[in-house]
């Protein structure tokens, strides 16, 4: 497992949502829909597009729907699966 990947993903979330906090303050258990994060469907789309650009990956809609994104950790886990699958395919 790559802890730097989680930090990079959290940095994307923080940057897109303009949260103004350090990635270590964005715990995996924090709800994506909490007042701390304040995610909505449009901001999720912006985050996913930025992650696709940053990691040179493509995230399928099916992956997003199957992930049942509820907290920061679930988002990190979904992205990690996509990144790992890309690495295995190369």
Q: DSSP states of 14-83 as a string?
A: HHHHT--S-GGGS-TTSBTTSTTT---HHHHHHHHHHHHHHHT----HHHHHHHT--BHHHHHHHHHHHH
Class level of CATH domain 3-19+26-89: mainly alpha
Residue ranges of the domains in the chain?
3-19+26-89
**Nearest alpha carbon to residue 33 among 74, 5, 62:** 74
pTM of the model: 0.89
Which pLDDT value is given to residue 31?
Answer: 95
pLDDT digits (tens, 9 = 90+) for 30-84: 999 999 899 999 999 999 999 999 999 999 999 898 998 999 999 999 999 999 8
d(Cα 73, Cα 47) in Å, to the nearest integer? 15
């Amino acid at each position: 497992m790559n802890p730097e990947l989680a930090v990079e993903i959290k940095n994307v979330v923080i940057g897109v949502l303009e949260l103004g906090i350090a990635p270590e303050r964005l715990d995996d258990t924090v709800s994506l829909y909490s007042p701390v994060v304040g995610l909505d469907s449009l901001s999720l789309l912006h985050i996913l597009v930025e992650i696709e650009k940053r990691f040179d990956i493509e995230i399928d809609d099916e992956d997003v729907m199957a992930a049942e994104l509820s907290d920061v950790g679930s988002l990190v886990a979904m992205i990690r699966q996509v990144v790992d699958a890309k690495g295995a395919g190369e």
